[in-house]
Amino acid sequence: MGPSLDASIALAALGPFLAAALAPVVHRFAGRYAGWVLAVVPASIFIFLLGFIEPIASRRFVQASLEWVPSYGLNLSFFIDGLSLTFALTISGIGALIILYAGSYLAGHPHQGRFLGFMLAFMGAMLGLVLADNMLALFMFWELTSVTSFLLIGFDHARQAARRGAIQALVITNIGGMGLLLGVILVQQLTGTWEISGLRGLGDGMREHGLYPLVLILFLMAAFTKSAQFPLHFWLPNAMEAPTPVSAFLHSATMVQGGVYLLSRMTPFLGGTDMWTVTLVSFGGVTLIWGALGSIRQTDLKQMLAQTTIASLGLLVLLIGLGNEAAIAAVVVYFIAHALYKAGLFMVAGAIDHETGTRDITLLSGLSDKMPLTFIGAALAALSMVGLPLTLGYLGKEEMYLALADADWRSWLLLAVLVIGNALLAGVAMALAIKPFLGPLATTPKSPHEAPIAMLIGPLVLGGLGIGVAVMTDWFAHDIVVPAASTVLDVAVESHLSLALKPTSILFWLSVLTWVLGVLVFLQMAAIRTTLRRLDAAIGWTLDQGFDSVMFGLIRFSGAVTRFFHHGKLELYLVVVFAGLALAVMVPVLGMGGMDVLLPTHELGDWSAKLSWPDLRIYEWGVIALAVLGLGALLTASSRLVAILALGVQGTAVALIFLLFGAPDLAFTQFMVEILSVVILTLVMTRLRLDERDHRQFEDWARDGTLAIVCGAGVSLLLMVVLSGTLDPRMSDFFTATSVPIAHGHNIVNVILVDYRGFDTLGEISVVMAAGIAILALIRGKKKPGTLAPDVAKRQRKSALKAAK
Amino acid sequence: MNTVIFRTIAPLIVSIMLVFSVYVCLRGHNEPGGGFIGGLIAASAIAIFGMSSGVERVRAAIRVDPLSIAGFGVFIAGLSGLMSLFTGSPFLTSIWLYLDLGETVLPLSTPMIFDIGVYLVVFGTISAIALALEGEGGDI
């Protein structure tokens, strides 16, 4: 394995991002052929990955690694084993067809280049997710799929529903993403490795660890949100606001399968416990039935498909929970079968919508003459979805029934759930393939005609594969299913897939039962739909509305918190700030033994002896008198202008003290600050009234006075405490000794500012500048109240009214 | 406040203060002074100029928006820190260059550029605030 292989594997995951960046340019030059050009990228990744089938089938896995953050020992590592290869092949293969489809579906759309870019970026994130070995990289790609799918779902961002769907998907999947991050970090802390491949063989220790439930919950949070498990499934139907190519890609082979991938990947490490099995099986089972019933309730083609996706995800989660050999083999087969037929059906739905102008199944009929190739695509996909013999769907269904073949009452219960779920899905599949195409031609908003070739390739190829792959049963079982299932179970698995019909086996009769029930469902669909809708109306509340309530509650809550702290009363802000200062200085002085240093208890008796008249020179007395004079003038000032000037006098006296005691830099700065404070305060006060005295209520006066005295006394005491101890001279010695030799400066204060602690200063000057911008905004905002945001202006008017009262 | 005496003498004071501020800034490395103090002095000069001659004249005289000066200050301060990357040392490591001018040696350094950046930020920000307030505040 040379570096070139490393690079090319990494390129398989990262290449789509490059293509995404180029997509708008390609679209500009290639125009309506952009889809054809860009589909080359996923297609070549697909072909590159095909080459791994043979080695993986015999050698188990291939690793590749690029340096990422070497100082933390992090590598951007990828690996290919049976599981990731299965997912990556499905993603890139279907991805190529989808890009092709999207190029035609959105032909002429002004933002098609951007759209194709989003699609490719999403594909890159998805490939990275399934190929990543490093768990932080896995998390990063996981979040990237959320972000890119946000862009895709909200692509039509002028519509409110699209924005809502996008935000909902982002919120829900990001909650899971946080869980994944925590879970990954926790696993790294427990095992000491960031690599998934490094977790091999550590599963037993993990399952017995006290923190196992926490780790499991974190990972399940991630998987259940991404894979739309009940009760967090509602984002998926709303994500149907996306253009159809997005739905076809996200909800067949990618996005939502991220959770399935994660669960499969973690099976050797976390799986097999009672907690795992019970949680996965029950959530999966409920989701299966819920989604299947949900799809019958719908009449919109895309919504029906979205609900069946939820059902299929539930089915997969249930099977992963079961975790025996047949169940895992069924997961692999069903994942592929589902990806193929679901992507195909979505593309068919998109084609119907594109050519007729409606997606309502009750309005569609008799399209088979007008759109024969679309009908073939739909029929092929539906065959696999129903699970008729000779299709991948059949293999998957037989395998999952086999997984429950032991005669346990729980198995019988689950078997019943599976049969009912599959029958409901089969009924929907028949409806999707038969209702729009057969019967008399119905009038539709647009007069129907066959879809363009780029939109037909996808459904036809995928539908064909659903049968073609199944026919090559031995190759499929040996080279795809066995390596993938072996990876999940971490033991070598035997394959027993067979297309042969065995009338002696109960499994066959379960299949027959499923088909019969499916036909019944299909025939009675309208009646079931009416019942379900009535039931819905009776409940009158959906989880989707619950999401809205939670979100609005959150907004109201943060609004309330903000209003509580950000009340807009400057006086109170200052009170809080100075109360904080008082606490910050008084707590160490009084509470942490500061006073003992200053005034040891055993000397308390003769404290008066310690007080002596300070030995000061006459001009020093003069300066102090000036400061006191300024203070007195400030307190008794007859107008604000006088008060400001008095404050300046007091400050100048302090500056003089600095000067007298050998801190010229400080004194210098203090002078300038005092002058500018007076000038700026005066300028500010010109907006108020300069010639008035401050009016304060007695309570305000007492409160402000107390705070001022406590702060002043606190700072003085703190300084005295600090000065009464011995200062650690190491820092000042260091600066004195090195200032000239290494920093070439004699003024230590300045050298510290610009050299030793230049980074601090850089931060400080940025803050100064930011503060300046904020102040200017305040001044200018005041000038033109019309330019304020309406809600701010409203709040200001309100507070002005309150003040007037 | 807007007396003839003040208006007459203000430009003189302002020019002296501005020159002095540069002097204070540049000598800061070895003697009391530095970019911060220099910037404050220059900003005070601008504030005085604004009071005596009106904000419009000051704005015309400095030509660029004071806040842009501040922005430029942050920019060159950051840039002076990046210089050290060329020598392979960490961000903000100082580089010194002694120019031999025959009679005297002129020390140039990245901390000096950094200090000039500080000067410009303080000068620009405070001037911007003072001018904005003066422009709004009416007569003083």
pLDDT in tens, A239-270: 888 888 888 888 888 888 889 999 998 888 88
Given this model, what pLDDT does residue A606 score? 61
- pLDDT for position A482: 84
Taking the CA of residue A14 as centre, how many other CA atoms within 13 Å lie in the half-sphere pointing to its CB? Answer: 13
Q: If you write DSSP's letter for every residue of A34-71 in order, what string do you get?
A: HHHHHTHHHHHHHHHHHTTHHHHHHH-EEEEEEEEEGG
C-alpha span between A357 and A685 (Å, rounded): 67
Is there a contact between B34 and A747 if contact means CB atoms under 8 Å apart? yes
Q: How many domains does chain B have?
A: 1
What pLDDT is recorded for position A287?
A: 92
Single-letter amino acid code for the residue at A58? S
Q: Are A66 and A77 in contact (CB under 8 A)?
A: yes
Check CB contact under 8 Å for B67 and A779: no
DSSP label of B100: E
The CA distance from A239 to A116, in Å, is: 18
- In this structure, what is the dihedral angle of CA atoms A161, A163, A167, A169, given to the nearest 10 degrees? 60
Nearest CA-CA distance, residue B118 and chain A, Å = 6
Exposed, middle or buried: residue A73 (CB in 10 Å: 0-12, 13-18, 19+)?
exposed
Instruction: Give the pLDDT confidence of A69-106 residue by residue, as tens digits.
Output: 777 767 788 888 888 888 999 999 999 999 888 888 88
Task: Check B121 against A683: CB less than 8 A apart.
Answer: no
Option in B24, B30, B35 nearest A746 (CB): B30
Contact between A551 and A171 under an 8 Å Cβ cutoff? The reply is yes
Angle of the A325-356 helix axis to the A392-403 helix axis, nearest 10: 140
Q: How far apart are CA A238 and CA A306, in angstroms?
A: 9
| Structure confidence at residue A600 (pLDDT) | 65
Pairing assessment for the beta strands A74-81 and B105-109 based on DSSP bridges: unpaired
Q: Which of B36, B43, B133 sits opposite A779 (nearest CB)?
A: B133
Looking at residue B2, its pLDDT comes to 67
CB atoms within 10 A of CB A215: 21
Would you state the structure tokens that stand for residue A19, as one six-digit string? 């293509």
Per-residue pLDDT, A476: 84
Interface test with A, best of B91, B92, B95, B122 (most A CBs within 10 A): B92
Planar angle of CA A412, A405, A429, nearest 5 degrees: 75
Instruction: Select from A664, A683, A761 the Cβ nearest to the Cβ of B130.
Output: A683
Distance CA(A780)–CA(B136), nearest Å, equals 9
Q: Work out the burial of residue A504: count CB atoms within 10 Å of its CB; fewer than 13 is exposed, 13-18 middle, 19 or more buried.
A: exposed
Could you tell me how many residues make up chain A? 805
Residue A67's identity, in one-letter code, is: E
In angstroms, the Cα distances linking B128 to A669, A763, A771 are 19, 20, 11
pLDDT at A804: 44
* Cβ atoms B116, B76 nearer than 8 A: yes
Radius of gyration of chain A (CA): 36
DSSP per-residue string spanning A204-265: HHHHHSTTHHHHHHHHHHHHHHHTT-TTSTTHHHHGGGS-HHHHHHHTTTSTTHHHHHHHHH
Compute CA A66 distance to the chain's CA centroid, rounded to the nearest angstrom: 25
3 state SS of A339: helix
Q: Nearest-5° angle of CA A38, CA A41, CA A42?
A: 110
Which chain A residues have a beta carbon less than 8 Å from that of B125? 768-769, 771-772
Instruction: Kindly give the parts of chain A with pLDDT less than 70.
Output: 1-4, 59-61, 73, 406-407, 594, 597-612, 687-690, 694, 782-805
Contact A665 B121 (CB under 8 A): no
* Nearest neighbour of A679 by CB, restricted to B47, B96, B128: B47
Cβ atoms A314, A286 nearer than 8 A: yes
Coil vs helix vs strand at A711: helix
Q: CB distance B30–A775 less than 8 Å?
A: no
Question: Are A677 and B42 spatial neighbours (Cβ–Cβ below 8 Å)?
Answer: no
Q: Which residues does A507 contact at the CB level (< 8 Å), separation at least 6?
A: A398, A401, A402, A405
Quick check: A169 and A149 in contact, CB under 8 A?
A: yes
User: Which helix (H) or strand (E) element contains residue A12?
Assistant: helix A3-30
Residues A316, A291: Cα–Cα separation, whole Å: 13
Residue in B78, B129, B140 closest to A762 by CB: B78
Query: What element of type H or E holds A607?
Result: helix A607-610
Query: Residue A676: closest CA among chain B residues belongs to which residue?
Result: B44
Cis-peptide, bond into residue B11, ω within 30° of zero? no
Q: How many CA atoms lie within 13 A of A1 on its CB side?
A: 13
First to last CA, chain B: 6
Low-confidence ranges of chain B (pLDDT < 50): 137-140
With CA atoms as reference, the chain B residue closest to A753 would be B115
Distance between CA atoms of A673 and A655, rounded to whole angstroms? 10
What count of other Cβ atoms lies within 10 Å of the Cβ of residue A99?
30
Q: Facing residues of A66 across strands?
A: A76
Give yes or no for a contact between A588 and A594, defined as CB atoms under 8 angstroms apart. yes
Residues in chain A with CB shorter than 8 Å from the CB of B41 are 672
Q: CA A569 to CA A796: how far, in whole Å? A: 11
Task: Say which DSSP state A553 is in.
Answer: H
The nearest CA of chain B is from the CA of A776 a distance in Å of 6
Amino acid type, B127: S
Collect all residues with Cβ–Cβ distance below 8 Å to B81 and sequence separation of at least 6.
A758, A759, A762, B91, B92, B110, B114
Nearest chain B residue to A784 by CA: give it: B136
Distance CA A203, CA A716 (A): 62
Compute the mean pLDDT over every residue in chain A, rounded to the nearest whole number: 84
Using a CB-CB cut-off of 8 Å, the residues of chain A touching B91 are: 759
Q: Which pLDDT score, from 0 to 100, does residue A782 have? A: 60
Chain A environment of B67 (Cβ under 8 Å): 769, 772-773, 776
Range of the domain at B43: 4-137
Q: Which of B67, B92, B121 sits opposite A776 (nearest CB)?
A: B67
**C-beta neighbour count of A449 within 10 angstroms:** 11
d(CA A106, CA A245): 9
- Of A191, A82, A94, A93, nearest to A131 by C-alpha is A82
Closest partner residue to A769 (CB to CB) among B31, B74, B96 is B74
Per-residue b or e along A459-490, where b marks 16 or more CB atoms closer than 10 Å to that residue's CB? bbbbbebbbebbeebeebbebbbbbbbbbbbe
Tokens for A299? 């009449």
Q: What pLDDT score was predicted for residue A803? A: 44
Quote the pLDDT of residue A106: 84
Per-residue burial over A34-68, b = 16 or more CB atoms within 10 Å of its CB, e = otherwise: bbebbbebbbebbebbeebbeebbeeebbbbbbeb
Residues of B in contact with A778 (CB under 8 A): none
User: Which residue stretches of chain B are H helix?
Assistant: 4-27, 35-53, 55-62, 66-82, 110-137
Q: Does A761 touch chain B (CB under 8 A)?
A: yes
CB A522 within 8 A of CB A430: yes
CB A325 within 8 A of CB A317: no
Q: Is the minimum CB–CB distance between A762 and chain B shorter than 8 Å?
A: yes
Rg (CA), chain B: 18
Reported as half-sphere exposure (CB side, CA atoms, 13 A), residue A83 has a value of 29
Residues of B in contact with A669 (CB under 8 A): 36-37, 40
Instruction: For chain A, report the end-to-end CA distance as a whole number of angstroms.
Output: 81
The reply to whether A672 touches chain B by the CB within 8 Å rule is yes
pLDDT 10s digits, A431-454: 888 888 888 887 778 777 888 888
